Structure 1
Amino acid sequence: MSILSKPFFHDEAAAIEKLEQVLWPAGPVCPHCSGNQKIYALKGKATRLGLWKCGHCRKQFTVKVGTVFESSHVPTYKWLQAVYLMCASKKGISSNQLHRTLEVTLKTAWFMSHRIREAMKGGGNGLLGGLGKIVEVDETFIGHDYAVKPKGDKRGRGFAHKHKVLSLVERGGKVVSMVVDNLKAKTLIPILKSQIDSQTRIMTDEAGQYSRLDLDFLAHDFVRHNQGEYGRGAIYTNTVEGFFSIFKRGMKGVYQHCAKRHLHRYVAEFDFRYNERRVCDEERAETALMGAAGKRLTYRGSPIAA
């Protein structure tokens, strides 16, 4: 039997119950006052499914209040389907595909996917690396930044006009990626210092912006790609380049185009799936659902306080 045949992917009551189990493992919690004692379910023919009332602040709420699902008219079971599909697709799933699969409008599918990416954004779980650990650092280029005008007529060549993505990958651990405006040392070094433990051994390529990392970290080694070198024993950047291969196949083959103002969410999506790679698709989807709490996203693409 397919996992997509489970009741919470087709029945609204079962879907709400599933969401409550994930977001309220210890029982209902009021999103308005955080109370969890005097809470009771409202029932009746005219009452919405999953409606609760708080005895502390006297306000009504559902499990979707204060999450990325709030104020959505899309059925909860379709939300759960969308979350599962995005978590199970290694290179992502396009809004057009969600539109056809879920039978919602393209605009709705696009907005759903961005809300789910917002849920996937990590809140930070400490620094990468540490004593005895290795973190690989590299950057890649994607899309076209129309705010940057390339020199001459060679519009498609070089990388100055492309979006720049910096990724930090701990070997055997997690990845942290971000969109950066430039690749100057004065921009990148503060980022590395804020994300990586100072007792870490850093691996990069021979790019000049990384030439003095040994001043801020335990050790720094690099490979000389311009000389055809791709590794010397433990000195390589193959892990971060492997992550980039999945990221770029997804961005070019599935999503094809992304404006800079949205790129950070696509980056978060690929980071999330990489960081949750050791669990099954269903567990990964539940982790994404847990990340939905405390986040909102407007149609203009800006996150707001829940």
Structure 2
Amino acid sequence: MCDLTAPEFQNEDIAREHIEASRWPNGPVCPHCGGTERIYPIKPNEKKKIRKGLYKCNDCEKQFTVTIGTVFEGSRVPLNKWLMAIHLMCASKKGISSNQLHRMLGVTYKTAWFMTHRIREAMREDAPSPMGGAGGTVEVDETFWGNTKPKGDKKGRGYHHKEKVLTLVERGGRARSFHVPSVNAKTLRPILRAQILADTHVMTDEAGQYCHTREPMTADFAQHSYVKHGLGEYVRGDVHTNTIESYFAILKRGLNGTFHHVGAHHLCRYIGEFDFRYNYRANLGYSDKDRAAAALKGIEGKRLMYRDSLPR
């Protein structure tokens, strides 16, 4: 449990020290040249107003603060509010809307919206390792989001007009999701081959992209089992996709109940946020505080400009 009245959420100087301890556990590192030895803090004086937390590197003769090269760079939002936003996003199982953050933090809606996208960038996993392995099981399934039928089209059944999300869930481990253009073997199989180790037991439902292709899934993986949902079969021994269905339940409740509308151009960031919380969930031993600390570790090298966050 994390106390929302903790000093790092109330005081910007303490928040800066908290971020410095997270980013530089062994002392300041120059983001310009990587130097560590010849760095000293620039202290304010009566003649010249100096930004708090400013350092200078004598190797490259450049000045910097802890926010340079991070998702916080260029932001005028106090760092304690950034830490509060990170904590609230990490502690909310189904997410927290930008509108709610705007009210709680006392910033504009536009600022809160941009903050949440920057924090989602910090949550993004860098160079993820393949899932599964010998004795491991990975469940694979897809879900659909939204209703993007062009105006004037008749309502009807089917999912071709919706956004498609492919998710891989490792039993007892991680989740990894992808916003894909279509759900067919040509699109999905290359992703599975790249993300799952060959000696893994893969479990799916009986969908054609997994079970009715020219090349069987066992050509890619050690074992492939599936359940036949169309016949009312959901569990057969340890063969099921219930783990991934539970993940989708949280994802859909968040998208529907918290965010309401998520555009196609932002969907990958939102599903990445749900992946992050799942990968640092409580039954793996992580608390809200641990989850926020993990997100804070990911702030470096992911600066997101406002123009880059807008739809193209």
Whether TM-score is above 0.5 comes out as yes
The 3-state SS of whatever aligns with 2:221 is coil
Deviations 1:148-205 (A, max 9, x none): x5995116x3211111000000100101101000011011000000000000000000
Checking the alignment, whether the CA contact within 8 Å between 1:177 and 1:271 is kept in structure 2 is yes
Tell me which residue corresponds to 1:36: 36
Tell me which residue corresponds to 2:275: 271
Tell me which residue corresponds to 1:107: 110
TM-score, structure 2 normalization:
0.93
Tell me which residue corresponds to 2:137: 134
Instruction: Confirm whether residue 118 of structure 1 aligns to residue 125 of structure 2.
Output: no
TM-score, structure 1 normalization:
0.95
Deviations 1:46-92 (A, max 9, x none): 21111111111111111000000000000000000000000000000
Checking the alignment, whether the CA contact within 8 Å between 2:2 and 2:289 is kept in structure 1 is no
Indicate how the Cα distance of structure 1 residues 30 and 87 shifts in structure 2: closer, same or farther if over 3 A, else same: same
Which residue type is aligned with residue 193 of structure 1? Answer: R
Instruction: Confirm whether residue 289 of structure 1 aligns to residue 296 of structure 2.
Output: yes
The 3-state SS of whatever aligns with 1:297 is coil
Which residue type is aligned with residue 93 of structure 2? Answer: K
The 3-state SS of whatever aligns with 1:27 is coil
Deviations 1:63-122 (A, max 9, x none): 000000000000000000000000000000000000000000000000000000010000
**Equivalent of 1:63 in 53, 56, 66:** 66
Indicate how the Cα distance of structure 1 residues 274 and 2 shifts in structure 2: closer, same or farther if over 3 A, else same: closer
Tell me which residue corresponds to 2:80: 77
C-alpha RMSD of the superposition: 1.6
Checking the alignment, whether the CA contact within 8 Å between 2:200 and 2:222 is kept in structure 1 is yes
Tell me which residue corresponds to 1:87: 90
Deviation at 1:4, TM superposition (A): 1.1
The aligned length equals 300
Q: Determine the C-alpha separation between the residues in 2 that align with 1:4 and 1:100.
A: 16
Tell me which moved more, 266-275 or 277-286.
Answer: 277-286
Tell me which residue corresponds to 2:171: 171
The 3-state SS of whatever aligns with 1:30 is coil
Deviation at 1:144, TM superposition (A): 3.0
Q: Determine the C-alpha separation between the residues in 2 that align with 1:82 and 1:185.
A: 40
Q: Determine the C-alpha separation between the residues in 2 that align with 1:130 and 1:143.
A: 34
Q: Determine the C-alpha separation between the residues in 1 that align with 2:31 and 2:237.
A: 52
Tell me which residue corresponds to 1:190: 190
Instruction: Confirm whether residue 250 of structure 1 aligns to residue 233 of structure 2.
Output: no
Checking the alignment, whether the CA contact within 8 Å between 2:121 and 2:269 is kept in structure 1 is yes
Checking the alignment, whether the CA contact within 8 Å between 1:262 and 1:301 is kept in structure 2 is no
Unaligned runs of 5+ in 2: none
Q: Determine the C-alpha separation between the residues in 2 that align with 1:298 and 1:152.
A: 36
Checking the alignment, whether the CA contact within 8 Å between 2:55 and 2:63 is kept in structure 1 is yes
Unaligned runs of 5+ in 1: none
**Equivalent of 2:235 in 231, 236, 242:** 231
Which residue type is aligned with residue 223 of structure 2? Answer: A
The 3-state SS of whatever aligns with 2:139 is strand
The 3-state SS of whatever aligns with 2:265 is helix
Checking the alignment, whether the CA contact within 8 Å between 1:95 and 1:109 is kept in structure 2 is yes
Deviations 1:262-291 (A, max 9, x none): 111001100000000130111110110110
The 3-state SS of whatever aligns with 1:252 is helix
